[in-house]
Chains A and B, each alone.
Chain A
Amino acid sequence: MEMNTNIALVLVLAPLLGFLINIFFGKNLGKSVSGIVGTLSVVVSFIATAYFFTGISAHPQGIHISLFDWIQISTFKVDFGFQLDQLSILWLLFVTGIGSLIHLYSISYMHDDENMHKFFAYLNLFIFFMITLVIGSNLLVMFIGWEGVGLCSYLLIGFWHKNQEYNDAAKKAFIMNRIGDLGLLVGIFILGNLFSTLDFATLKTALSTATDLDLYWISIAAFALFIGACGKSAQIPLYTWLPDAMAGPTPVSALIHAATMVTAGIFMITRLNFLFDLTPNVQTIIAIVGALTALVAATIGLVQNDIKKVLAYSTVSQLGLMFLALGLGAYEVAVFHVITHAFFKACLFLGSGSVIHALHGEQDMRKMGGLKKAMPITFITMLIASLAISGVPLFSGFFSKDEILMVAFHHNIPLWIIASIASIMTAFYMFRLMFLTFFQEFRGSEHQKQHLHESPSLITFPLIVLAILATIGGLISLPGHSWLNEYLTPILPKLATAQHHLGSTEYILMAIAVVGGLVGIGIAYSKYVKQNCVPSEDAGILGFSKVLYNKYYVDEIYNFLFVKSINSLSKFFRDDVETALSALIFGLGKVTNEISFQGKKIQNGSIGLYLFVFVLGLCAIVSYLFLAQ
């Protein structure tokens, strides 16, 4: 099947058009039209992606579209080009698919906001940049998207811009991402210097055919790129922006900070798998960082009381698991978990949004409870998603998480243990969330209680779709028969030779994981349903829980180490160094002045002095000549 490349332009430009319409005319269009325009523009992209998805099997090398020369470096050119292959199309499918659902959801969720058209404009712009990130045929076009989604993330976290705390969170996200971006850029520079190209396809050829590879510099490049991934995908040490990013409206958290943007790092590493495969040291670092992130974030998630914060730390933790898989070279497993995670985490965030909406903005789970009767659809969909994330068999998360654990087990037992503990904790805190929110008695105000209601269908419909996907999503990669692995073979050639056999070890591992998950759920059940526990007020949190509740004080430590010190340095430079430098220059002026003042004294018209100096000079010259001979 011959693919029409113009449709790729439609795919990319439809959300940009939606953005332009909404930003310039959105206010006059009215809220509903603005929302519909925004949603449709993403649906168009989704359809275009589906078109390529159906035809890509005939193009194992992918479809390459070069539009024009963009940046000129002395040794190479960077063109503005797109690459549609198995990987980018897969990513585009869930970005535009889930994107469409979340746009739809937002029509209702944001309907009371006076700046709804702007919200849709920014969401559309985000989709545009996310598509650019995924579809770029070289590192720099990817970088456009990479920075662009960062900008949209900034705009959307700070969407309610009257609140300076939200603005702080937005700024923090942007700056922390930029730390990663510098890493990414440095990686790009090194690759450019080594191979005189930034094009993915050319790089792949260069790396797979060259015999005298400079592995030292390749490792440094891979490590630098990984720093970039840490920024965007919220890994240690650059993860602290993501929980703060929850300041944004909930659909933003679902779309950007759970399902799509934060997967960019995983996308990039998978895209460059041929590079990372050459650098086992860096892979080890990735695996360790991923496992630690999974564990640390999960422990923090155990005690959080803000419903979105729990989900945020859960996201960080799950991303950590994906990085663990990447570090172990199991790219397809990471991709699999990206997809299932996108389904259930988007569902969870949108569900929490539905709850927050019903409670007029309340996010503290201590003031929720007993909502399952009033909000049955939200409850059931979130329950399904929670079962999926906890790894309960037959739900999608079971398959993807299980594969990660198995890969870890086969590579490194300690990493497997860490990942398993993180998974048990996940099951616990997710059901803690579910029980505190939907079970027990309602703990909010009377006023809220009277107004409890299920959300409108524009909100529940995306929830239902996502819950269905969270249930059946595992079908794309069943153990023993994986459609996903076959599909990704052109991108990940190693898969063609990989063996899929299920032995007794695998079944035992599976059993351990399932039992672990159930134990986590069981503890949550006994504590929050049987014993009806409610987390204590902030002041009552003591001991290690307090450390966890305060997120190990990492924000405070960073603040002290970096923000404070750079600000005092700035003050020192501003007040002292600047003054000193200025004084130095003026000092030079003064010295000149002084010399001329002294010099002036000599030129006082006294013939006697002139004669004296004249004779002195003459004597000096004569004696010099005499001595020189």
Chain B
Amino acid sequence: MNVSLILIILLVGAFATYLAGDKLASKVALFFGLAALGCSTVLLNHYNLGENISFICQWIAEPNISFALKADGLSLAMLLLTTALTPIIIISSFGTDYKNSKSFYALILFMSFAMAGTFLASDGLLYYIFWELALIPIYFIALIWGNGDTEERKKAVVKFFIYTLAGSLFMLVAFIYMYQQAGSLLIEDLYQLNLTATEQFWIFLAFFLAYAIKIPLIPFHTWQATVYQKAPTAGTMLLSGIMLKMGLYSVIRWQLPLTPLAAKQYMYIFIAIGIAGVIYGSIVALRQKDLKKLLAYSSLAHVGLIAAGTYTLTLDGLRGAVLQMIAHGFVVVGLFFVAEIIFRRYQTRVIAEMGGIRTQSPKLTSMFLILVMASVALPTTFNFIGEFTLLYSLSQINIWFAVLGGTTIILGAYYMLKMFQHAMLGETNSKVFADVTFTEGLTLVLIIAVLFIFGMYPKPIVELITPSLEAILTQINRVR
């Protein structure tokens, strides 16, 4: 049994969902989503027992490209994030009617397939193919099922598509260059390359453009808020919950170990970019009128901190980054889901048009508040573990980085509580707010459970990811 099985399940699932027709599509998609989740937990078990679950075979002889899927703790953690969030995203879409739903759900699974592939691929070209493949389903999901004015949406989505595609092309050039040097794109072979500092600098920069646009980091984030707002909620969840982690994961997996000299030389600049994103994103979030846009900027702030931690090149930084990626993935999906639940009832995403929901639906309000508190990293939630570790890693570099990055705990509380107050509290709204349905409640409870369980006991995840991060650090610190 190896990791290719997950990809097969997700791909077959995508086709099966399409063939199942509109009526059955959502259930078939859920089935395959859960199957992938089940399969990845089984794989995790095999991995923990020390079995080899990687899959490598020659794909193209000339140029020398392998179909190489390698699973270490880091990849498995990201894979589990993907396969755990996919069914949650599918279930969360049940309450909304999507026309042509067979294509919609098939695209979700296909997207999940491409993202899982990105996290597993250990050959540069294969990785690049999965990376770009993930763009296609989200492009259609946002374009066809998105909301708001069609022309505006088209503009935003096309901008996003071209922007990220353009960024990725630089990465492709970097891979081609390295292929010429190494004669292979297998990550192990690339690790053996002895690139000069100048070469590393340009490769580092090429990777950075691709990742900074995808994550996004400031000032490359301008596509984000509008796309998050215009995409259907399932699409926003895919983007913010999983897809942006592709960029962060790639920094750890590809960029840092391949170009350690450049990373070490310029780390302060990139830490600063990350922290600038924390502050900028938090401040912009403060005056957002649209709930989804506010969450988009909050996401910008959170990933800024993750990126800053990553570029510290320390074990704590990398570990905090991965922990926070997972924690953020769950919490942001939960928050966008609440936005969707409110939209189903009030037909609005404008915060000022909400209010008074607490009196009508205390259950939703409580769960929303828990998510808000997790998002602002209240201890006992998983997000605290991530954020604490990240800030700690920054404090090791320079205490001022920790202070500036730490402003997120103040500003985050400010914009989230302000939003919560105006969205949920206050006088009873004249509009009727139906209480959460069973499926909605269950989805939120599952997310909250994950956040609390790993907030109290993060050890399993820490033990899963630490050896692979240590290996990556060894590669970064290798004397050449």
Contacts and interface: CB of A to CB of B under 8 A. Distances in A.
Interface stretch (B52-60, B236-244, B328-336, B372-380): B372-380
Nearest to B408: A182
Interface in B402-438: 402-403, 406-407, 409-410, 413-414, 417-418, 421, 425-428
Nearest to A180: B410
Given A151-B378, A162-B427, A585-B222, A570 B410 contact: no
Nearest to B218: A581
B403 A573 contact: no
Contact of A72 (B287, B314, B380, B459): B459
B222 A73 contact: no
B409 A185 contact: yes
Interface stretch (A63-71, A249-257, A476-484, A485-493): A63-71
A185 B390 CA distance: 12
B395 A193 contact: yes
Given A69-B459, A167-B426, A182 B222 contact: no
B211 interface: no
Contacts of B210: none
Interface in B195-246: 218-222, 225
Contact of A570 (B283, B403, B421, B459): B283
A581 B428 CA distance: 40
A171 B421 contact: yes
Interface stretch (A53-61, A141-149, A438-446, A617-625): A141-149
B297 to A, nearest CB: 9
A574 B284 contact: yes
B474 interface: no
Contacts of A179: 410
A15 interface: no
B402 A74 contact: no
B385 interface: yes
A144 B391 contact: no
B459 A582 contact: no
Interface string A179-205: 101100110011011000000000000
Contact of B417 (A174, A566, A569, A578): A174
A143 B284 contact: no
Contacts of A190: 395, 399
Contact of A74 (B159, B314, B379): B314
B456 A192 contact: no
Contacts of B316: 73-74
Interface string B440-480: 00000000000000001111001000100000000000000
B413 A174 contact: yes
B286 A566 contact: yes
B393 to A, nearest CB: 9
Contact of A178 (B218, B314, B358, B410): B410
A186 B406 contact: yes
A73 B389 contact: yes
Contacts of B402: 185-186, 189
Interface string A534-574: 00000000000000000000000000000000110111011
B413 A167 contact: no
A147 B396 contact: no
A147 B378 contact: yes
Contacts of A68: 457, 459
B426 A161 contact: yes
Secondary structure class of chain B's binding surface, majority of residues: helix
Contact of B380 (A144, A154, A158, A589): A144
A121 to B, nearest CB: 10
B169 interface: no
A144 B379 contact: yes
A573 B378 CA distance: 27
A582 B222 contact: yes
Given A164-B421, A171-B417, A578 B396 contact: no
Contacts of B399: 186, 189-190, 220
A567 B319 CA distance: 34
Contacts of B2: none
A567 B286 contact: yes
B348 interface: no
A581 B220 CA distance: 8
Given A140-B379, A178-B413, A189-B399, A574 B288 contact: yes
B417 A189 contact: no
A164 B426 contact: yes
B250 interface: no
A570 B219 contact: no
B280 interface: yes
B307 to A, nearest CB: 18
Interface string B137-168: 00000000000000000000001001100000
A162 B286 contact: no
Nearest to B421: A167
B287 A567 contact: yes
A175 B410 contact: yes
Interface string A218-259: 001000000000000000000000000000000000000000
A175 B417 contact: yes
B293 to A, nearest CB: 9
A151 B380 CA distance: 12
A146 B223 CA distance: 39
Given A140-B379, A182-B403, 14 more contacts: A71-B458, A164-B426, A178-B410, A185-B409, A186-B399, A189-B392, A192-B392, A566-B286, A567-B287, A570-B285, A571-B287, A573-B283, A574-B284, A574-B287
Interface of A: 23, 68-74, 80, 140, 143-144, 147-148, 151, 154, 158, 161-162, 164, 167-168, 171, 174-175, 178-179, 181-182, 185-186, 189-190, 192-193, 220, 566-567, 569-571, 573-574, 578, 581-582, 584-586, 589
The 5 residue pairs across chains A and B that have the minimum distance between CB atoms: A189-B395, A570-B286, A144-B379, A570-B287, A582-B222
Interface of B: 159, 162-163, 218-222, 225, 280, 283-288, 314-316, 319, 356, 358-359, 366, 373, 378-380, 385, 388-389, 391-392, 395-396, 399, 402-403, 406-407, 409-410, 413-414, 417-418, 421, 425-428, 456-459, 462, 466
15 contacts: A71-B385, A71-B389, A73-B389, A148-B378, A148-B379, A151-B373, A151-B378, A162-B359, A181-B409, A189-B402, A192-B392, A570-B286, A573-B280, A574-B288, A581-B221
